Amino acid sequence: MAKVERIRDFKVKSGDCFFFDNNVWMFLFSPISGAKEYQQRVYSNLLRNIQTARATIFINSLIVSEYINRSLRLNHSIWQDRERRSGNRFVDYKHDYRGTEDFDNAQEEAYNEMSDILSIAERKPDDFNALKLDEVMKAKGMDFNDAYYAYFCKLNRLILVTDDKDLQSSPLDITILTA
């Protein structure tokens, strides 16, 4: 069973290795995510403590994909609302939004945000071949990415930092930090 700890009760040590769930990266770097001030403050303080202790934050390709896709979808929602208010009923993501100047700007912004993230996190191979994918797909109460992250953290002995309550019920023997 996962050991869930509150960030305020956790002391970061120099040898600690962390993995931030996408929602944490969104709180820290995505200005349009609608993050709550409390979460932004708690996760920002944790990031600062990790950097001060010279601990390590790892990131994998699935987080990069999830972050960029979520950022683009959030921007699409804003664009979609604006387009519908002006009477445009054609507001499909792939057919109508991609290729617009708004999409290009949103994509550039997401890529810049990800560049900032990659400047502070170390890239970690996904070890796809080592993960027990059948167990990931059978995980109850979690979507695929959440289960994948939990197994990834177990395999690599990483502390999972998340604001996702679903992950907190993971049956795996991992440490989870949350606000």
Helix (H, G, I), strand (E, B) or coil at 156: helix
DSSP character for 49?
A: H
* Alpha carbons 144 and 111: distance in angstroms, whole number: 24
What is the CATH class of 3-69+121-178?
alpha beta
The pLDDT of residue 96: 85
The pLDDT of residue 133: 86
- Domain boundaries along the sequence of the chain: 3-69+121-178
The pLDDT of residue 35: 65
Q: What is the pLDDT of residues 6-56, one digit of tens each?
A: 999 999 999 999 999 999 999 999 877 666 788 999 999 999 999 999 999
The pLDDT of residue 50: 98
- Stated pTM of the model: 0.92
The answer to whether the CB of 5 falls within 8 A of the CB of 177 is yes
Residue 11 φ/ψ, nearest 5 degrees: -105, 115
**Angle subtended by helix axes 101-118 and 61-85, to nearest 10:** 150
Q: Which of 7, 12, 55, 19 is nearest to 174 (CA)?
A: 19
The pLDDT of residue 33: 67
Q: Which residues of the chain have pLDDT under 50?
A: none
Q: Which amino acid is at 118?
A: L
